[in-house]
């Protein structure tokens, strides 16, 4: 069921008025959630797919999962602490006000800004092959 039960139940007259996600719609719902947080949607499973292809896809997903764990990425706790130390107005008292998906975007923007500043300093120091890329831009480019 979708919505707040305490608000919805007093207003409805029959069970049919409840907003419910059915099983056949759930995969689409998951993809909408993925898209809203910036993750690529995945294709629905094909029930008529050959078992070897299913097995290969399962191994590929497992490989990707293991690779992601070995990537050495920061934990959420470390990321939140880092954001609080950036001096951008977020601190332990208000860090909970930002959305989960804002965290990687803030980190990426800050890293781009740092890279730009280092590149500018390198050029000023005489580096020839460094081409600074301005940090305020669409990060998808």
**Averaged pLDDT of the chain:** 87
The neighbour count for residue 2, using CB atoms within 10 Å, is 9
Q: How far apart are CA 113 and CA 107, in angstroms?
A: 10
% of residues, the chain, pLDDT over 70? 96
What tens digit of pLDDT does each residue of 46-78 get? 889 999 998 998 899 899 888 877 766 788 899
Residue 131 predicted with pLDDT over 90: yes
Chain center to CA of 19:
27
Q: Evaluate whether 103 touches 80 at the Cβ level (below 8 Å).
A: yes
């Amino acid at each position: 069921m979708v919505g707040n039960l305490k608000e919805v139940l007093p207003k409805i007259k029959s069970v049919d008025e409840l907003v419910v996600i059915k099983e056949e719609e759930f995969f689409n719902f998951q993809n909408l959630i993925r898209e809203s947080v910036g993750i690529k949607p995945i294709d629905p499973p094909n029930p008529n797919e050959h078992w070897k292809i299913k097995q290969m896809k399962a191994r590929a997903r497992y490989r990707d999962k293991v690779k992601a764990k070995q990537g050495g990425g920061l934990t959420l706790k470390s990321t939140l602490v880092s954001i609080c130390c950036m001096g951008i107005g977020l601190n332990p008292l208000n860090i909970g006000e930002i959305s989960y998906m804002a965290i990687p975007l803030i980190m990426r923007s800050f890293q781009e800004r740092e890279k730009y500043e280092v590149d500018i300093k390198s050029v000023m120091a005489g580096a020839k092959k460094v081409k600074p890329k301005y940090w305020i831009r669409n990060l998808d480019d």
